[in-house]
Amino acid sequence: MWLRGVLLVLIAGLFLSWGSAEQENMNTRVDLVPQMDTLLSMADLPSEALYSMPDPVYTTDNQWDSVFSRLQKRAGFNGTVLIAERGEVVHAGAYGYGHHRRKDTLELSSSFQLASVSKMFTAVAIMLLYEAKRLDFDKPVQEYIPEFPYDNITVRHLLNHRAGLPRYMWLAEKHWDTQKILTNEDVLCLYNDHKPNLFFKPGTRFHYCNTNYAFLALVVERISQMSFQEFADTYIFEPLKMENSFVLDLKKEQKAADEVIGYRRRRRGYLAVPKDFLDGVVGDKGVYASVKDLFLLDRAFYGDALLSHETLSVAYTGGSPELRNHNYGFGWRMQTQREGIIYHFGWWRGFRSCFIRDIYSLRTMIILSNHDHIRRNLSFWDLFCQFEGP
């Protein structure tokens, strides 16, 4: 309870500090200064039971170590793994190198580009603002980004991938100088300048699209008046002690000590994949984290300390009832035929990521790799089924 209370008070202080600057910007955006008493009334929250647990003990299981050592030799697996049950680590291991040329051995603290697994952090940021009463899921995006060019798209449409927006990467390839870093604000300008047609009426269909989460990150920035990087640091990474996590900021050229390099398989070995102009856009990707940090996040979700169970239950509910075999909530995918299984995979510029959670049996599997070809040689689901047993 203390952590969520502190977070809400911090957010309250942030908004109240805008003061006169808010008045100066009234002509460009809506007044978002909250009432302090409204925020403080939310401090009476459920207990953060998991935060009373001792720090994780990172142990190695011989059977699981054999599985991943074999995958390293036969399938080219290179990465880190953490498997947990009921808040305790079953197996944690690191296999291979973070940088092939330097032969830097991977550690459990090594930070990987999470690719689309980053979307869960964007959803968490949105939900934090919702719980602080600074945002309504069903309000139009224009409420928070007045110059957003579509008046019939809501925040929920973006979260559930039901907005009908085309891919910003396609738009950038046609209309952007690829020698310049593209940012989330630049993406907004591209949509305003070219106004591409929506694929369908918002809310009527599911269409997974990175654009949705790029705009959600911009919503966070506009409401908080902080960069997405600063917001994640202040309200997610630091409170949860996720010491190896950060959101990429190409313009600052920051690099964590334990950040690894992504690689693409070639006939003669592995080719390092450099960052490019699209890496300036965050929210859909761009979060770097270690398996240790993702496990801290996993425990926080069970503990009611970061977000309430009521809010998380919405995040874990599929937003597209017409889908049969799978669905999508807020930053999480789900298997409709296996209740309690929520997950996300990621793939971007040499990186592959996997985060699977069974919220009924409290089992978690986190796999991060800096070899992108493992998507053809390794089945995350087969591994998770081994974890579940017969």
Would you state the pLDDT for residue 17? 47
Q: Would you say 350 and 272 are in contact if contact means Cβ atoms under 8 Å apart?
A: yes
Residue 341 is given by DSSP the state: E
Mean of the pLDDT values across residues 316-344?
A: 93
Question: What are the residue numbers of the active site?
Answer: 116
**What is the distance between the alpha carbons of residues 365 and 388, in angstroms, rounded to a whole number?**
11
Mean of the pLDDT values across residues 184-203?
A: 97
Domain locations along the chain: 2-388
Nearest one of 158, 116, 107, 105 to 135, comparing CA atoms: 158
Judge whether residue 241 has pLDDT over 60.
yes
Least confident of 48-57, 81-90, 234-243: 48-57
Mean of the pLDDT values across residues 137-145?
A: 98
**What is the distance between the alpha carbons of residues 276 and 281, in angstroms, rounded to a whole number?**
10
Judge whether residue 323 has pLDDT over 90.
yes
Mean of the pLDDT values across residues 359-388?
A: 85
Judge whether residue 86 has pLDDT over 80.
yes
**What is the distance between the alpha carbons of residues 201 and 184, in angstroms, rounded to a whole number?**
23
Least confident of 31-40, 128-137, 212-221, 367-376: 31-40
**What is the distance between the alpha carbons of residues 12 and 19, in angstroms, rounded to a whole number?**
12
Judge whether residue 29 has pLDDT over 60.
no
Judge whether residue 42 has pLDDT over 50.
no
Would you state the pLDDT for residue 97? 95
CATH classification of 2-388 is 3.40.50.2300, yes or no? no
Instruction: Name the 3-class secondary structure at 8.
Output: helix
Would you state the pLDDT for residue 256? 60
Q: Grade residue 315 by pLDDT with cuts at 50, 70 and 90.
A: very high
Taking residue 75's Cβ as centre, other Cβ atoms within 10 Å add up to 15
Would you state the pLDDT for residue 166? 97
Would you state the pLDDT for residue 267? 78
Q: Grade residue 117 by pLDDT with cuts at 50, 70 and 90.
A: very high
390 class by beta-carbon count within 10 Å (0-12 exposed, 13-18 middle, 19+ buried): exposed
Would you state the pLDDT for residue 13? 52
pLDDT in tens, 245-273: 999 998 886 666 667 999 998 877 889 99
Mean of the pLDDT values across residues 171-186?
A: 96
Which residues fall within 8 angstroms of residue 360, CB to CB, at 6 or more apart? 339, 340
pTM of structure: 0.86
Residues composing the chain? 390
**What is the distance between the alpha carbons of residues 99 and 97, in angstroms, rounded to a whole number?**
5
Pairwise pLDDT comparison (288 vs 390), residue with the higher score:
288
Judge whether residue 35 has pLDDT over 50.
no
Judge whether residue 209 has pLDDT over 90.
yes
| DSSP collapsed to 3 states, 158-211 | HHCCCCCCCCHHHHHHHHCCCCCCCCHHHHHHHHHHHCCCCCCCCCCCCCCCHH
